[in-house]
Structure 1
Amino acid sequence: MCGIVGYVGKEEAAPFLLDGLSKLEYRGYDSAGIATIDGTKLVVEKCVGRLAALKEKIDGHVPKGTIGIGHTRWATHGRPADNNAHPHTDGAGRFAVVHNGIIENYLPLKEGLLKKGHEFKSETDSEVVVHLLADVYDGDFEAAVHRVLTMIEGSYSLVFLSKDHPDRLICAKKDNPLVIGLGNGENFIASDIPAIISRTRRTYILNDGEIAVVHRDGVDVCNFAGERIDKKVFEVNWNAEAAEKGGYEHFMLKEIHEQPKAVRDTMSQRIAKDGKSVVFNELKWDKDFLDSIDKISIVACGTAYHAGLVGKTYIEKLVRIPVEIDVASEFRYKDPIIDDKTLTVVVSQSGETSDTLAALKEAKRRGAKTVAITNVVGSSIAREADRVIYTWAGPEIAVASTKAYTTQLVAFFMLALYMAEIEGTQPSERIAELIAALQKLPDDVSRTFEDMEPIKTFATKYGFNEDAFFIGRSLDYNVAMEGSLKLKEISYIHAEAYAAGELKHGTLALIVKGVPVIALATQKSVYEKTLGNIKEVKARDAVVIGIAAADDTELAKYVDHVIKVPATDELLIPILAVIPLQLLAYYAAVTRGCDVDKPRNLAKSVTVE
């Protein structure tokens, strides 16, 4: 979730670029940079670290010019470093570009450019774009940008700057947000409204497949085919604080709604073009490597631990290799039985979780092979592990993790498919079937938001209860644990999750009249058993909210309320089933007047034991 700004007008560009980037700092980043055109010279200043480091670097010699672009980078391809910071330029210093998103086919494009003599300065996918532009440029800036867009694949918002055309910026959007602010004798570009709200409230919101040529006195918009589009002005009526949250009341709600994109980005580049296999260029495992592994050990904390529970099932069902899972804070104190035939998978959103990092080091000390699933490039865990799978979810601001969890599930699912293909433990038809379901997942996630009113109603009605219980079997139990954690950490309701089959072993003593029970019933293999457990709690006068697939016609007969999610393979449905639970926790916290984004006593990244 990098930040983009652009300016063309009659004033100096740099002050706006720096101010605009400061308004986007909430998005999280690890480097910053700006580029302007000073006379006939393209000037670029960038460095790793916070925006303050960039300001200190250019103190006393702020780049001149009335046109420019700026960027704050959240590392994906390439570690946080000066050379990987944006803007990127071509070898001759004629063009500059800033980019949010992922260029999926950057490797073959880069290989072709290298053969032509292009020299690259960074490890990023983004730099490929500006070299492509220089390669195809024949004097027509707009035509060259259009040609570049036909060559790249992936998701992006892009802004191009050319010293040969110092009167215009060109920007394009596909799957990543981009807005144009309309001023008087000046116009602005940004990845999010907070960057421009102090200068204008009149905007164009670019849609996917649109390109804009931005001059100081006008903006021309067309589609990728070159057909002109008449944009309607969107008048921003949010205040600055609301603008940072994209109009959402809280960061948590915004991040819940970012999950379709986050899931799509995690899948990006990891499905072969024929749609029949999973590709992990960052792993490059083969059958000899997997045959050398006797077991897998998953280690994580909190929400990441709950993701690991689902990951355990994915790997055991699809790869047929035994998987152990441990809470990281317990792992290194239990004298774990691991050796050079163990693959240890550590999971951490931040990549800085103290207990998980210590567990990773202990596993390596005992000879285990290691892989990390994390969201932060260059983090301590990413540096320590033998291999890294990045989730590319973008930064989470809210303490309660949402999109990190769903993208960790996607990463685990793809890892399991990848291993199953290598080991031949699943028929190719089954692999293709699961990949097809996976590719539909971003749209399925979007559909879960179509009717949230019942969830708001339940939260309002039951949000003042002091106890709530979650039940489920198989993968539903793992999701119930995450739903319970979300509710307790942000609403402060005492919530517990139980394996539904364990009710008669003590838990039924806690079920009394009116207590809310959230019952997950998405797993067809244990569906009838789950219905029996639901009848048990209903017999004690509990209020039951059921979570079911859209094609379920039975559950409504046995519960008080039903929330349905799109039907998909039962291995993938946990990624959908958790979203109503996230929303239920969110609206319960709002009902109770809690500080949703910053719950008491909790921190986003736990860096001490």
Structure 2
Amino acid sequence: MCGIVGAVAERNIANILLEGLKRLEYRGYDSAGLTVIRDGALHRERQVGKVQALVDAVAVNPEFFDGHIGIAHTRWATHGEPAQRNAHPHVSGKIAVVHNGIVENYAELKEALIAKGYEFTSQTDTEVVAHLINDIYKATPDLLEAVRTVIPLLHGAFALGVIHVDCPEELITVRLGSPLVIGVGIGENFIASDQLALLPVTNRFMYLEEGDIAKLTRSSIQVYANGVEVKRQIHEIDAAQHNADKGEFKHYMLKEIYEQPDAVARTLEMALDSDEPTKLRDDFLQRHEAQLKGIKHVQVIACGTSYHSGLVAKYWFESLIRVPCSVEVASEFRYRNPVVIDNSLVICISQSGETADTLSALRDIQKQSPVGLVSLALCNVPTSSLVRETDVFLPTLAGPEIGVASTKAFTTQLAALMLLLLKVGVIQRRMTDENLRTLLGQLQQLPGQLHASLHLDAPIKVMSEHFEYKKSCLFLGRGLQFPIALEGALKLKEISYIHAEGYAAGELKHGPLALVDKDMPIVVLAPKDSMFDKLKANMQEVHARHGELFVFASQSSQMVAEDRLHVVYVPDVCETLAPIVYSVPVQLLSYHVAVMRGTDVDQPRNLAKSVTVE
């Protein structure tokens, strides 16, 4: 999970590279580096830590980096600790390389290169790539051909950016299993792991396909697939829709929490018609109706937060339209030789659309070719690999999400999944007109309910003071709130570094109750729904053992705060959509606890936003 930026231009590109790295810092922030070609030599700077450390180092001798071609990288460590010697770019002779992904067979390749006399200065797999290209270039002094020759030798998934002092007008790039885009300019061209990095310099992008190799100069872009030159379409995007500034907010995460009412409203507008509020829009997934009509089973594959949205969808699909639904973590699913049922709708959920495990699981399923398979990407990035490799694309219109801890991506995933369920229910006649009208009416109210839930910010901030010095925490929920308990625990551990676990409240007496004592905070999600009375009994089990309860309860629950029982009242919402609304309080709780503990909210340690490696 790293960020690549590269440029070949008529102007000085150092600041372009550094700005691109700042915009990609959500992808990795262990170390950063850049290399430019200037006066017939490679000029390289690498620093451990945030991109700002690299910016400061370059500023000491800016004239060294006044070049017209260069590559840069921000790293999230896979091979080798965060250290200057492990930071990219890696150099071999006159060649510099940046790399995103993993070379699985690097150990064997390294051994062979050492036997040839190459010396290694890092612990990374990337240095192998630099030495290999250098070795082949000696016999084949054509940079594109040298890179093309190296690719079959590398096992794994990767994206590369390569420059050579003897080819000062050529930037070579490769995409195989890791995201990479080309930014198209006038008299200049660029590469990046994410178009977000290049928006200050262009809004025209070319999306490389799996296995593509490209050669960029100032005035040309040549793309090759299987050794044959191919054309890739140039897409123009509206840069205004990709605004990633924090604005008035201290952190991206808080900004993105507050953007949820609008993001969910945008997502709902795909299917809801304000002029006809009792029916779905005719054009919503219209061209996929024949495929969806034959679906008899739903298989959700996802990781992390996206997995939790899939768990909510399981409750919805089975309880509302009686379609069986299975949900699995992609990294487990792909390795257990699973059986995919015929006539399955395989829903792959990923914010970025580049999640390595989810993509690999999808490809494994497609190789099985089950009868009636329909694959659907639920994704926030319409140009992603996942979208290109599935039959159906259902977008989440969250806009850019920069904070590593997902917030608006999660709630828009839930909104989109509900819309999908309604569409399948209508097509397959599994839902009465009355139930459809009821759910559509409730969805129309959802953005307003989310907005009202943001008013809980102040009391939740007060509640969070009880968590500042805690070491562990339990989140409890029942029914549809169990996945939100899992999500709340994930959020807290991600950004505050407090050990947290989510449990189905009915499971307390099967183990977790042993952990409860006066120092263990217990967060409970308690809407007044069909499970509320049973949940109250579970809370009594905690209270009897001197546990301290922090309860998010609906206003109609009539719960009253007392000693070691803290209550924050959440706006009343229907049971079906309550998971979406109750996501907001657990996000705010995690955010305020992290701020009080002084952690890096947007870029928590050891994590990255787009997980493009196993």
TM-score interval, smaller chain: 0.5 to 0.7
Cα separation, 2, equivalents of 1:591 and 1:74 = 42
Which of 313, 317, 341 does residue 311 from structure 1 map onto? 313
Cα separation, 1, equivalents of 2:404 and 2:295 = 36
Aligned-pair CA distance for 1:396:
1.1
Give yes or no for contact 1:469–1:484 (8 Å, CA) kept in 2. yes
Q: Which residue number corresponds to residue 594 of structure 2?
A: 589
Give yes or no for contact 1:389–1:411 (8 Å, CA) kept in 2. yes
Question: SS in structure 2 opposite 1:317?
Answer: helix
Question: SS in structure 2 opposite 1:450?
Answer: helix
Q: Which residue number corresponds to residue 371 of structure 1?
A: 376
CA offsets, 1:540-577, max 9 Å, x none? 11111111223221364696111222212111111110
User: Which range is displaced more, 312-321 or 489-498?
Assistant: 312-321
Cα separation, 2, equivalents of 1:52 and 1:337 = 41
CA offsets, 1:80-116, max 9 Å, x none? 69xxxxxxxxxxxxxxxxxxxxxxxxxxxxxxxxxxx
Q: How does 1:463-542 map to 2 (within 5 A)?
A: 463-522=468-527, 524-542=529-547
Cα separation, 2, equivalents of 1:476 and 1:499 = 8
Cα separation, 1, equivalents of 2:519 and 2:311 = 30
Q: 1:599 to 1:280 in 2, by over 3 A?
A: farther
Q: How does 1:206-221 map to 2 (within 5 A)?
A: none
Q: Which residue number corresponds to residue 400 of structure 1?
A: 405
CA offsets, 1:253-308, max 9 Å, x none? 11111111111111123213301223474633677644532311000000000010
Question: SS in structure 2 opposite 1:551?
Answer: helix
Which of 331, 337, 340 does residue 338 from structure 1 map onto? 340
Q: Which residue number corresponds to residue 253 of structure 1?
A: 254
Aligned-pair CA distance for 1:71:
9.0
Q: Which residue number corresponds to residue 270 of structure 1?
A: 271
Aligned-pair CA distance for 1:521:
1.1
Aligned-pair CA distance for 1:536:
0.6
Give yes or no for contact 2:203–2:236 (8 Å, CA) kept in 1. no
Q: Which residue number corresponds to residue 326 of structure 1?
A: 328
Aligned-pair CA distance for 1:433:
1.6
Which of 45, 49, 57 does residue 188 from structure 2 map onto? 57
CA offsets, 1:332-372, max 9 Å, x none? 21221214411111100000000000111112122232001
Which of 358, 361, 368 does residue 360 from structure 2 map onto? 358
Cα separation, 1, equivalents of 2:282 and 2:310 = 19
The number of equivalent residue pairs is 413
Question: SS in structure 2 opposite 1:371?
Answer: strand
Cα separation, 2, equivalents of 1:246 and 1:23 = 19
Which of 535, 557, 564 does residue 552 from structure 1 map onto? 557
Give yes or no for contact 1:340–1:366 (8 Å, CA) kept in 2. no
Q: Which residue number corresponds to residue 420 of structure 1?
A: 425
Q: 1:421 to 1:601 in 2, by over 3 A?
A: same
Give yes or no for contact 1:490–1:589 (8 Å, CA) kept in 2. yes
Cα separation, 1, equivalents of 2:420 and 2:293 = 16
Give yes or no for contact 2:297–2:341 (8 Å, CA) kept in 1. no
Question: SS in structure 1 opposite 2:377?
Answer: strand
Q: Which residue number corresponds to residue 283 of structure 1?
A: 285
Question: SS in structure 2 opposite 1:524?
Answer: coil
Q: Which residue number corresponds to residue 583 of structure 2?
A: 578
Report the residue type matching 1:497 in the other structure: G
Question: SS in structure 2 opposite 1:498?
Answer: strand
Give yes or no for contact 2:471–2:499 (8 Å, CA) kept in 1. yes
Q: 1:437 to 1:555 in 2, by over 3 A?
A: farther
Cα separation, 2, equivalents of 1:559 and 1:493 = 20
Q: 1:291 to 1:255 in 2, by over 3 A?
A: closer
Q: How does 1:217-232 map to 2 (within 5 A)?
A: none
Q: 1:545 to 1:364 in 2, by over 3 A?
A: same
Cα separation, 1, equivalents of 2:389 and 2:447 = 31
Cα separation, 2, equivalents of 1:72 and 1:462 = 45
Aligned-pair CA distance for 1:453:
1.9
Where structure 2 has 5 or more consecutive residues not aligned to the other structure, the ranges are 1-11, 27-179, 191-198, 209-232
Report the residue type matching 2:420 in the other structure: L
Question: SS in structure 2 opposite 1:394?
Answer: coil
Where structure 1 has 5 or more consecutive residues not aligned to the other structure, the ranges are 1-14, 30-48, 60-68, 82-120, 127-155, 158-175, 178-190, 193-243
Q: 1:514 to 1:576 in 2, by over 3 A?
A: same
Give yes or no for contact 2:293–2:427 (8 Å, CA) kept in 1. no
Cα separation, 1, equivalents of 2:300 and 2:489 = 21
Give yes or no for contact 2:185–2:204 (8 Å, CA) kept in 1. no
Aligned residues: CA RMSD: 3.4
Report the residue type matching 1:475 in the other structure: L
Aligned-pair CA distance for 1:445:
1.0
CA offsets, 1:525-552, max 9 Å, x none? 1110000000110111111111122322
Give yes or no for contact 2:309–2:414 (8 Å, CA) kept in 1. yes
Aligned-pair CA distance for 1:74:
10
Give yes or no for contact 1:28–1:74 (8 Å, CA) kept in 2. no
Q: How does 1:47-126 map to 2 (within 5 A)?
A: 53-54=184-185, 56-57=187-188
Question: SS in structure 1 opposite 2:381?
Answer: coil
Question: SS in structure 1 opposite 2:531?
Answer: helix
Cα separation, 2, equivalents of 1:475 and 1:555 = 23
Q: 1:70 to 1:324 in 2, by over 3 A?
A: closer
User: Which range is displaced more, 560-569 or 487-496?
Assistant: 560-569
Cα separation, 2, equivalents of 1:58 and 1:342 = 42
Cα separation, 1, equivalents of 2:25 and 2:351 = 13
Cα separation, 2, equivalents of 1:529 and 1:385 = 41
Aligned-pair CA distance for 1:413:
0.8
TM-score (norm 2): 0.62
Report the residue type matching 1:498 in the other structure: Y
Give yes or no for contact 1:296–1:342 (8 Å, CA) kept in 2. yes
Give yes or no for contact 1:295–1:322 (8 Å, CA) kept in 2. yes
Question: SS in structure 2 opposite 1:452?
Answer: helix
Q: Which residue number corresponds to residue 57 of structure 2?
A: none
Give yes or no for contact 1:27–1:395 (8 Å, CA) kept in 2. no
Question: SS in structure 2 opposite 1:449?
Answer: helix
Q: 1:73 to 1:55 in 2, by over 3 A?
A: closer
Report the residue type matching 1:450 in the other structure: H
Cα separation, 1, equivalents of 2:336 and 2:203 = 40
Cα separation, 2, equivalents of 1:497 and 1:599 = 20
Report the residue type matching 1:526 in the other structure: M
Aligned-pair CA distance for 1:522:
1.5
Cα separation, 2, equivalents of 1:27 and 1:274 = 42
Give yes or no for contact 1:374–1:389 (8 Å, CA) kept in 2. yes
Q: 1:55 to 1:515 in 2, by over 3 A?
A: farther
Report the residue type matching 2:188 in the other structure: K
Q: Which residue number corresponds to residue 389 of structure 2?
A: 384
Q: Which residue number corresponds to residue 185 of structure 1?
A: none
Q: Which residue number corresponds to residue 438 of structure 2?
A: 433
